[in-house]
Amino acid sequence: MSESGAFRTESSSGRRARLETLREAALHRKVLATHFPAAFNGRWTRRHWAHASLFATLGALVAAIVPGFSNAMQTPSLTPRTTLALALPALPLAQLRGHAGDSWQLVTVQSGQTLSSVFNQLGVPKSTLQRLMAHPDAKNTLTHLKPGNVLSFDLPVDGQLRTLRFDRDPTHRVELSLQGDQVQARVIERPTEVRTVVLSGEVGDSLYRSARKLGLTPSNVTTLTDEIFKYDIDFNDDVGASDRFSVEVDQMWRDGELIGTGPVQAATFTVGGKLYSGFRFERDGKAEYFTGDGRPLKRTFIRMPIPYARLTSTFGNRFHPILGRMRMHEGVDFAASIGTPIQAAGNARVDFVGWKGGYGRVVILDHGHGYTTLYGHMSNFGKEHVGQHVDQGAVIGYVGMSGLATGPHLHYEFRVNGVHRNPLSITMPPPEPLGGTALAQFRDQTGTALAKIRSVENVIYADAAPVRSARRSKKA
């Protein structure tokens, strides 16, 4: 072999040796020291911390998800179940055999609902309704159904109405049974209890709302304001929130439920420390309200036949707007719109109804003892006729402008023994007080009522300042 060939051979061997050395060095080189020198130097950059946080988060997610997949892949174990056949409760024998007792259905009448719609709702034929309505008890009651009325139907499984039950009044229930072509009626008396109670409270923001919350009916409230205390208390201006009232009434209870409240038997009203009172008593078969000493609260005459009307012409000489000259105006005029009701000033007998010259349509009332009243320029009359008795406050006609009138108004005259008097200033005759046996009965009745009211007020208003009793001294 030549010298040059030997050199090449050695050179190749040397190169392979050097490559093996480099390969071993590369395989055993410390990777962390090369790529993460900060881990060994103790200094991490912000990039290194971000990578570490990302890897830690991914690891946590994998640890949480993998067990879920593992559970989802598992085959659910089957729990053995047992099915039992349970028998349904048997129908009552009464219903199976068509006996009454288990087939009643109650229907409460809704607003706008008719008896026909109720029957149709239950699938009862119209022919059955017609048979029932032919009976007097059904016709008199069921033709005046109101929302809240309750009807009871005995409907067995065959769907044929057997009995209809309804309340004729608070104390009587009617059962109409269908037996073939016949309708048999049975009236059941329902026991009730009457309790005499005293309801007492303060006026607050509204007398009406306060009274209703206590249990008084709208009619009771109207009695207080328009009958008992009408002449002594101005409910628009005089009454304050702290003023109080007490009312004695009879309440009707049935099966623990309040089903009715009777008229006001006695009442007191304290306004500004002054006490007013009124008591109900029947005289000659007619109920009235009296003061504690037996004088009627209702005045013999009301001064204004149209409540809250505007006075447009007074009593005395004036220039007549149509005749164009001075003339005695023998009454007073109240302006009101056409059709406004006109009330009788007092209890009277109708003396005249018709046309009377410049007065137009006129009604004249005779109140007895020489007192008469005239109402002119009416647009229409009421239902009264000559000789008929009318009560104070009854509507006898309507405002108009018939006769000599420039606009709609009421011309009102008050006469005593034929002489015209000013109805706004004359002293009205006092009402006739109770006397004799009636007065004695009245005092016994009012004494008991007043004692009940005082006992209740002593409990409720024990800390309130005492009030002073006062008899009515205002003139009518």
Q: What is the pLDDT along the chain (476 residues), one digit of tens a residue?
A: 444 444 444 556 666 776 667 666 655 555 444 444 444 455 667 777 777 777 777 777 766 665 554 555 555 555 666 666 666 555 444 444 444 445 788 888 888 888 888 888 888 888 888 888 888 878 778 888 888 888 888 888 777 888 988 888 888 888 888 887 788 888 888 888 899 999 999 999 999 999 999 999 999 999 999 889 988 887 877 889 999 999 999 999 988 888 889 999 999 999 988 999 999 999 888 899 999 889 998 888 888 898 777 888 877 666 556 655 566 678 899 999 999 999 999 999 999 999 998 899 999 999 998 999 999 999 999 999 999 999 998 999 999 999 888 889 999 999 999 898 988 888 777 788 888 888 999 998 888 888 888 888 887 776 655 544 444 434 33
Rounded-to-integer distance, Cα 433 and Cα 281, Å: 12
CB 310 within 8 A of CB 335: yes
pLDDT of residue 123: 85
Rounded-to-integer distance, Cα 63 and Cα 418, Å: 116
Instruction: Domain count for the chain, please give it.
Output: 3
Q: Quick one: 314 and 416 in the same domain?
A: yes
Cα–chain center distance at 17: 113
Q: Quick one: 388 and 474 in the same domain?
A: no
pLDDT of residue 64: 65
CB 205 within 8 A of CB 237: no
- CB under 8 Å to 335, separation ≥6 — which residues? 309, 310, 311, 312, 407, 408, 409
Q: Quick one: 350 and 324 in the same domain?
A: yes
Q: Quick one: 201 and 138 in the same domain?
A: no
**In terms of DSSP bridges, do strands 274-283 and 468-469 run parallel, antiparallel, or are they unpaired?**
parallel
362 has which bridge partners?
354
Q: Which of 193, 196, 194 is nearest to 448 (CA)?
A: 196
Q: Which of 78, 59, 61, 58 is nearest to 69 (CA)?
A: 61
Whether 242 is in a domain gets the answer yes
Whether 89 is in a domain gets the answer no
Coil vs helix vs strand at 11 = helix
Rounded-to-integer distance, Cα 221 and Cα 211, Å: 7
- Residue 171: give its domain's CATH number: 3.10.450.350
Whether 121 is in a domain gets the answer yes
Rg of the chain over Cα atoms, rounded to whole angstroms, equals 49
Rounded-to-integer distance, Cα 476 and Cα 301, Å: 8
Whether 228 is in a domain gets the answer yes
Q: Quick one: 315 and 417 in the same domain?
A: yes
Q: What angle do CA 130, 136, 142 make, to 5 degrees?
A: 65
> Where a domain ends, among 132, 161, 189?
189
DSSP string, 81-121: -----PPPPPPPHHHHTT-TTS-EEEEEPPTT--HHHHHHH
Q: Quick one: 389 and 456 in the same domain?
A: no
pLDDT of residue 203: 92
pLDDT of residue 94: 43
Q: Quick one: 199 and 178 in the same domain?
A: no
247 has which bridge partners?
199, 267
Question: Nearest 5°: phi and psi at 163?
Answer: -145, 140
Coil vs helix vs strand at 215 = coil
Question: How many CB atoms lie under 10 A from the CB of residue 296?
Answer: 17
Whether 87 is in a domain gets the answer no
Q: Which of 440, 345, 454 is nearest to 397 (CA)?
A: 345
Q: Quick one: 316 and 232 in the same domain?
A: no
Q: Quick one: 397 and 350 in the same domain?
A: yes
> Where a domain ends, among 189, 209, 244?
189
Q: Quick one: 443 and 294 in the same domain?
A: yes
Q: Quick one: 326 and 288 in the same domain?
A: no
Rounded-to-integer distance, Cα 468 and Cα 275, Å: 6
Rounded-to-integer distance, Cα 244 and Cα 224, Å: 12
Whether 220 is in a domain gets the answer yes
Q: Quick one: 197 and 156 in the same domain?
A: no
Whether 358 is in a domain gets the answer yes
Q: Show the domain range for 179.
A: 101-189
Q: Helix (H) and strand (E) counts for the chain? A: 11, 23
Whether 76 is in a domain gets the answer no
Rounded-to-integer distance, Cα 11 and Cα 8, Å: 5
Which uninterrupted H or E stretch holds 211? helix 207-214
> Where a domain ends, among 174, 189, 204?
189
260 has which bridge partners?
252
- Residue 339: give its domain's CATH number: 2.70.70.10
Q: Where are the beta strands (DSSP E) in 119-256?
A: 150-154, 163-169, 172-179, 182-189, 193-202, 244-254
Coil vs helix vs strand at 309 = coil
